Amino acid sequence: MSDTHAALHLRHRAVAPDWLALYYREPIELTHGEGRHVWDADGKRYLDFFGGILTTMTAHALPEVTKAVAEQAGRIIHSSTLYLNRPMVELAERVARLSGIPDARVFFTTSGTEANDTALLLATTYRRSNQVLAMRNSYHGRSFSAVGVTGNRSWSPTSLSPLQTLYVHGGVRGRGPFAALSDSEFIDACVADLEDVLGQAHGNVAALIAEPVQGVGGFTAPPDGLYAAFREVLDRHGILWITDEVQTGWGRTGEYFWGWQAHAAAGPPDMLTFAKGIGNGMSIGGVVARAEVMNCLDANSISTFGGSPVTMAAGLANLAYLLENDLQGNARRVGGLLLERLRAASAGNDAVREVRGRGLMIAIELVERDGSPSPNAATAALESARENGLLVGKGGLAGNTLRIAPPLSLTVREAEEGAAILETALRQAQDTIAGKEPS
Ligand code: PMP
């Protein structure tokens, strides 16, 4: 480890919580970025295939965003929602239109957690029930309410909750009791499971909250149409559908602008939450809801920093860049190529159980020789990629899945370069499960 990094790591460990995990045996500090690249404090350059957890959505140091932030900061940084705020109104108008939700209202927060917390507050108030449906293996944030709908136990530090949560099956296609079924049988089985769970609830259930593709869970998804089938059941009971688009929004999945659109037969959701990519790193989260649902609170509610002019200016510039340059189309094209390359790179590698994904949201699930999850193989691959100049993420219930989610402006050349580095990393994973020393 370089002295610079080692010294900072020691200071970090002395003041930061133990549960605030760092990547890598020798953690690194990223000091600057440009396009799809970042540099560490020693000047080593990396191709960034994780974008600070799917948050650097367009590119690092995008001049349009930097300029918008600097100009807004030079005018006024903060005023609060007590005063009219032009950038906030403009971004709300654009997001409302894009959401597909009719008669939409938008409330801005500072994080995905707070966005989901708001959606849960709205749903439970609107429906006068604290019973909520969530998916197994889900992640919705770190607050007391958000961990109460987070099925992934490694991210849910307490079972105490203000909510009564009923976990439904269906977010994970490739594992669990229904894995061997065909897509349509899988959907039927999950619908039957949902009906069964609802039969055991007390009266009203407020909402189903679900990620269209589970992010932290390891980019796992149901077959297309599952949530449309769920919606028919939910509608019969008046239960709201909240789609958590914190990772899947803004064209990340290539084919669709929102993840819920893979289940479009159901029509738009009642509520949509977003965060991460829209601010390109500036802290923007939010919830979109039908006016009737959004307006159901009969007390004041405010987020002091939500909708702050600087973050909104960044969001507007970032969204304009995304739309004008059709980065959704780029995610579809370059993501398709990257998926193909990664499948080829994994062929014959018995550490790889599955390469899956859509657009620029791709996962590689790693296993031991007996098929059990291999967090060790994932760690080995992550380290190898970093040594060779590529940053990727990890996820999955056991931390055994590589998560690949570069900025949506990724070029074909960069995709090929990254895939080559990952091929070496996957060989390292294979050596790891075979018990060989790192080469
Ligand atoms: N929902 C999903 C699907 C997420 O992936 C995350 C963050 N990983 C959150 C909510 C919480 O967002 P934040 O960390 O901004 O609070």
194 CB-near residues (< 8 Å, 6+ apart): 133, 168, 170, 230, 233
| Residue 22 Cα to chain centre, angstroms | 18
Residue 291 CA to ligand 1 center (angstroms) comes to 24
246: Cβ below 6 Å to ligand 1?
A: yes
209: Cβ below 6 Å to ligand 1?
A: no
Of the candidates 343, 432, 347, 337, the one whose C-alpha atom is nearest the C-alpha of residue 382 is: 432
Return averaged pLDDT per consecutive 10 residues of the chain, 439 residues in all.
89 96 97 98 98 98 98 97 96 98 98 98 98 97 96 89 96 96 98 97 96 98 98 98 98 98 94 98 98 97 96 98 98 98 97 98 98 98 98 96 98 98 98 83
**Minimal-distance CA residue to ligand 1 atom 10:** 140
250 CB-near residues (< 8 Å, 6+ apart): 57, 257, 274, 277, 278, 319, 322, 328, 408
Looking from the CA of residue 143, the nearest atom of ligand 1 is 16
Please name the amino acid found at residue 412: V
112: Cβ below 6 Å to ligand 1?
A: yes
Are the C-beta atoms of 58 and 280 separated by less than 8 Å? yes
Looking from the CA of residue 214, the nearest atom of ligand 1 is 3
Nearest-angstrom CA–CA distance, 25 and 48: 18
Using CA atoms, how far residue 95 sits from 56, 57, 146, 274, 281, in Å, is: 18, 16, 23, 10, 18
Residue 246 CA to ligand 1 center (angstroms) comes to 6
Residue 403 CA to ligand 1 center (angstroms) comes to 15
Are the C-beta atoms of 313 and 71 separated by less than 8 Å? yes
Nearest-angstrom CA–CA distance, 212 and 197: 20
| Residue 169 Cα to chain centre, angstroms | 19
215: Cβ below 6 Å to ligand 1?
A: yes
pLDDT score recorded for residue 436: 85
Residue 55 CA to ligand 1 center (angstroms) comes to 10
Q: What are the structural domains of the chain?
A: 3-61+327-433 (3.90.1150.10), 65-324 (3.40.640.10)
Residue in this structure with the two tokens 């297309």, named with its chain if needed: 224
120: Cβ below 6 Å to ligand 1?
A: no
Sign of CA dihedral 412, 417, 420, 426: negative
Nearest-angstrom CA–CA distance, 272 and 22: 30
36: Cβ below 6 Å to ligand 1?
A: no
Give DSSP secondary structure letters for 316-369.
Answer: HHHHHHHHHTTHHHHHHHHHHHHHHHHHHHHTT-TTEEEEEEETTEEEEEEB-T
β-partners of residue 393 are: 403
Which pair of tokens denotes residue 190?
């999950």
Question: Using alpha carbons only, how large is the chain's radius of gyration in Å?
Answer: 21
Longest dimension (CA), the chain: 63
Probe ligand 1: pick from 138, 139, 152, max atoms within 8 Å of CB? 139
Please name the amino acid found at residue 155: W
117: Cβ below 6 Å to ligand 1?
A: no
H or E stretch including 376?
A: helix 375-387
207-210 vs 131-135, strand pairing mode: parallel
pLDDT score recorded for residue 439: 56
Residue 220 CA to ligand 1 center (angstroms) comes to 15
Q: Is 284 left (phi over 0), alpha (psi -120 to 50) or beta?
A: beta
216: Cβ below 6 Å to ligand 1?
A: yes
Nearest-angstrom CA–CA distance, 179 and 373: 16
Task: Say whether 175 sits in a helix, a strand or coil.
Answer: coil
Probe ligand 1: pick from 276, 280, 287, 394, max atoms within 8 Å of CB? 276
403: Cβ below 6 Å to ligand 1?
A: no
Residue 141 CA to ligand 1 center (angstroms) comes to 5
**Minimal-distance CA residue to ligand 1 atom 1:** 140
Which pair of tokens denotes residue 70?
């600097």
127 CB-near residues (< 8 Å, 6+ apart): 204, 205, 206, 207, 238, 239, 240
Residue 350 CA to ligand 1 center (angstroms) comes to 32
Nearest-angstrom CA–CA distance, 204 and 231: 16
pLDDT score recorded for residue 294: 98
Model confidence, pTM: 0.97
Residue in this structure with the two tokens 């999945």, named with its chain if needed: 253
The DSSP 8-state label assigned to residue 35 in this structure reads B
Residue 30 CA to ligand 1 center (angstroms) comes to 21
358: Cβ below 6 Å to ligand 1?
A: no
211: Cβ below 6 Å to ligand 1?
A: yes
392: Cβ below 6 Å to ligand 1?
A: no
Residue 185 CA to ligand 1 center (angstroms) comes to 31
pLDDT score recorded for residue 3: 86
Alpha-carbon torsion, ordered 78, 321, 66, 307, to 10 deg: 10
